[in-house]
Structure 1
Amino acid sequence: MPSTPRAPERGDLILSVVVTAIALAMLALLPAISSVDPDVTVEMPGPSDWQWWVVAAAVLAQGARLAWISTAPRHVLVAMPALALLVSLVPLGEASGIPLVAVIAAAYVATRKRASAASWTPWIIATVLTAGAGVISNLRLDDGLMVPVAAAVGQAVVVVGVPTAIAAAASARHAMATSREREALARAGELEARMDAALAAERTAIARELHDIAAHHLSGIALMSSAISQQIDMDPATAKAGLADVRAQTRSLLDELRGLVALLRSDDGVSVDGASVDGAPVDVQSLAGLETLIPAARARGLDVTLAIPDGASMRDLSRGIGPLGQFAAYRTVQEALANAARHAPGGRCTVELRDSGDDHAGDSDHAADSLEILVSNGPGTADAAVPAGAHHQGGFGLRGMEERAALTRSSLTYGPTDDGGWRVLLWVPREAGHDGDPITTSTPPDGAQP
């Protein structure tokens, strides 16, 4: 079944009408110029001559073919000068150049639609055909040979070459603009992908943080509740004390969750220096909170001591460390102690804080103005009872420590010690220009671990 011919595009149809109108106007006006001004002689046939109608027919044929130039631009480019060459066989005088108007239009449009890898052969053929038409027409007007040929070649180069060069420059500029737009879209897509990846990583980090906080306390609450269920009939006094511990653990869990929410919402008017969330007090874990964390861990059966330089206070050590850095330091110590209680029950633990500029400071490769926090524990004893809350199953302790350190541009190392224990070493850099005031935390009730 034969396919239905496609209708010409609107732009091609307009081009066809304009070019045909210009050519027909030239064909009609050139004889009129000769009749108006006797000094200007135009040798060309008039409407009463058959040659004039040949030119008109050729112009109309060119216009009709231009209407479909988008379907086959290279074929149309060759067809236009081919028709001009056929018309040049008829003696037309000055009218021999009129068919070249369509050649100019075809050269421009074909170049704009040319693919970057396409051959330039149609343009060469069009130049040769145009030159041939010019040579035939010029030889009738001049008795010589060199001058008509040279004029025809120059005319062909101008008729085909100039619109081709203009169109090529316009195409190159358009391609450059398109390339920039695509590059901008690609960059926007890459930025969006990076943002999505960052959001996903942040959601994962928040989920791990919440898991560690909840599991740290809920595992202890579960164990104490199990013991209370057995003691409530046999030893009511001990059961009541256990309920107090459960209440304290629950309150500490809520305090830690509020502190984490305060940090996450600090850009929404939530202060992290002891201010409030929608008017409610917030306890944010900080370096000052270690003075409560250590006794609370000791009261729960963990053999742990806190060591700070002589003459120094926790306020001095927290100088220049921002809220997020103090929170990360607190959580690192808390997680390290929880891991020690779980993996090395009965082992002696030490939490040591010191300035990186002290004589006994750690690695000189780290920032000169930073706080060094060392949490170490010895090997556990086989007969030691595991303290409540130590069974921190399925946590992300070390990974959470690394993420907090990366978030605060701190440096974290950990690994086994020579005596079979474990050590966690954290360097927290101080912020230039920070006011140095530590975060004030409220003391958790009943001596519970924050």
Structure 2
Amino acid sequence: MNDLRMMPRLITPVVVWLITTSLLVAAPSLDSVDPSVAGSPALGSGGWWVALVVLTAQAVVLLERGSRPLPVLLVVAAAPVVVALSGAGDATSLSSAAVLVAVWSAVTSTPLPDRVRALAGALAGAGLLVAVGTSLSQTSIGLPAGTAILAGLVQGAGVIVLPALLAATVRARRDAQAARTDLALAVEREQSAQIAAAIAEERTAMARELHDIAAHHLTGIAVMTGAVERQIDTDPAGAKESVRHVRTQSTAMLRELRGLVTLLRSPGQAEDAGGQERLSQLASLVEEARRAGLEVELSTLGTGAAIESVGPLAQLSAYRTVQECLANAARHAPGAGCVVVLDTQDPAEVVVTVRNGPPATPVPSGGRPARRGLGLVGMQERADLTDSILEAGPTAEGGWQTRLRITA
């Protein structure tokens, strides 16, 4: 495993060493073709061996460019001076290949902005070393001092400035991509926290409501049924009155349980808990959405009598689900057609399907990452409460479909 991790570190130094040493070996032969431009050391001479050792040392030092990029840059940039002082002549330029790699690593891996001054200093120092080494090598092969210095400055700028600018551009693009990724992750974590908080709040409210119902109504019912048991033989009139009280308490409890279901809807929807919405009222809901501008149609398959086999809580859950789907279609797919299908053909279940097409015009995002709402979470909570099955997801045409299966 360690060997596999070292492979990327080894590849670049090995490639640089192979290229530069191959050119060092081939340079004397190339110079012999045109003696007027000969400036490389003879094969096997002292300068040639010094150049070979320095090029090898550069490749070894480059292995540490990831952990210590700035020291590596300065050490590698000192190589042209050493090669030039050894009398290697034009072979000095071969050491610039390793400097290019070191500059790239220094710019792309140095922590910023806390070490920007150190990076600037290392680049300036490396450029000066390359310029000095090139000037010395050009002087040694007979160029005038002014020309040699100019050549050194050009070589230093070409080896340091241009690669640094390119590496800075690549780093800026990489940092921007990383920032966008971090922003998306932060938004995702925020959404998860909001969903968890909403669910916890709803569960707390449900527990509080259930406690109140149990403490008030069920306790009263238990007391009154105990009285009925004692009165049924001795005081029939009193027993009938107690039964009427039991009926009153039971009706009130059912009404409050119906209100408890509304706690499962998405935050921000202020709906009256006292109203009992049913599947038979879907036509009114669709008509209301149509008046609001949504292109929606209602299709009923089967007989309406089968709806009565569905309990009131399940009917309220289905009604709220359709209501949420129509609101989502109007919000996220403006101008798209929408179809609500109430299928009661199977006597064992009632299936409610809401399907809308893709938006007629793109919905502006405002330049911020898309946020998932909490509506789907509320729908799933309602379905779980009534032992129903919720299926929701995009369609092949680019729209959205939500299907709720209710056991009859």
Give the TM interval when normalised to the shorter protein: 0.5 to 0.7
Matched, 1:83 2:79: yes
Q: Is the 8 A contact 1:263 1:272 kept in 2?
A: no
Once residues 5 and 261 of structure 2 are traced to their aligned partners in structure 1, the CA distance between those partners, rounded to angstroms, is 66
Query: What is aligned with 2:63?
Result: 67
Query: What is aligned with 1:217?
Result: 217
**CA 1:283–1:216 in structure 2 vs 1: closer, same or farther (change >3 Å)?**
farther
**CA 1:201–1:93 in structure 2 vs 1: closer, same or farther (change >3 Å)?**
same
Let me know the Cα RMSD of the aligned residues. 3.9
Q: Is the 8 A contact 1:103 1:159 kept in 2?
A: yes
Aligned residue type for 1:239: A
Look up the SS of the partner of 1:154 in the other structure.
helix
Q: Is the 8 A contact 2:28 2:43 kept in 1?
A: no
Deviation at 1:98, TM superposition (A): 1.2
Q: How does 1:93-242 map to 2 (within 5 A)?
A: 93-116=89-112, 117-118=114-115, 119-120=118-119, 121-225=121-225, 227-228=227-228, 231=231, 234-242=234-242
Aligned residue type for 2:90: E
Deviation at 1:262, TM superposition (A): 9.2
Q: Is the 8 A contact 1:260 1:284 kept in 2?
A: no
Match among 6, 13, 18 for residue 10 of structure 2: 13
Deviation at 1:79, TM superposition (A): 0.9
Q: Is the 8 A contact 1:255 1:282 kept in 2?
A: no
Q: Is the 8 A contact 1:262 1:270 kept in 2?
A: no
Look up the SS of the partner of 1:95 in the other structure.
helix
Between Structure 1 and Structure 2, the one with more helix by share is: 2
Aligned residue type for 2:279: S
TM-score (norm 1): 0.54
Q: Is the 8 A contact 1:232 1:239 kept in 2?
A: yes
Look up the SS of the partner of 1:44 in the other structure.
coil
Look up the SS of the partner of 2:165 in the other structure.
helix
Aligned residue type for 1:79: V
Deviation at 1:85, TM superposition (A): 0.6
1:123-154 alpha-carbon deviations (Å, 9 max, x no partner): 22211211111121122234533222122112
Query: What is aligned with 1:271?
Result: 279
**CA 1:132–1:257 in structure 2 vs 1: closer, same or farther (change >3 Å)?**
same
**CA 1:201–1:88 in structure 2 vs 1: closer, same or farther (change >3 Å)?**
same
**CA 1:209–1:31 in structure 2 vs 1: closer, same or farther (change >3 Å)?**
same
Q: Is the 8 A contact 2:90 2:138 kept in 1?
A: no
Deviation at 1:24, TM superposition (A): 0.8
Any gaps of 5 or more consecutive residues in structure 2? 266-276, 283-303, 317-321, 325-377, 379-408
Look up the SS of the partner of 2:65 in the other structure.
coil
Deviation at 1:185, TM superposition (A): 0.6
Deviation at 1:23, TM superposition (A): 0.6
**CA 1:19–1:256 in structure 2 vs 1: closer, same or farther (change >3 Å)?**
same
Query: What is aligned with 1:413?
Result: none
Deviation at 1:228, TM superposition (A): 4.1
Deviation at 1:285, TM superposition (A): 12
Once residues 259 and 57 of structure 2 are traced to their aligned partners in structure 1, the CA distance between those partners, rounded to angstroms, is 84
TM-score (norm 2): 0.59
Larger RCO (CA within 8 A; separation ≥ 6): 1
**CA 1:270–1:45 in structure 2 vs 1: closer, same or farther (change >3 Å)?**
farther
* Aligned residues between the structures: 282
Matched, 1:49 2:31: no
Shifted more, 207-216 versus 19-28: the winner is 207-216
Query: What is aligned with 1:280?
Result: 310
Q: Is the 8 A contact 1:24 1:56 kept in 2?
A: yes
**CA 1:285–1:250 in structure 2 vs 1: closer, same or farther (change >3 Å)?**
farther
Q: Is the 8 A contact 1:259 1:283 kept in 2?
A: no
Deviation at 1:177, TM superposition (A): 1.2
Once residues 8 and 83 of structure 1 are traced to their aligned partners in structure 2, the CA distance between those partners, rounded to angstroms, is 28
Once residues 243 and 72 of structure 1 are traced to their aligned partners in structure 2, the CA distance between those partners, rounded to angstroms, is 87
Any gaps of 5 or more consecutive residues in structure 1? 1-5, 287-321, 325-406, 408-450
Q: Is the 8 A contact 2:40 2:90 kept in 1?
A: yes
- The share of aligned pairs that are identical, in percent, is 33
Deviation at 1:192, TM superposition (A): 0.4
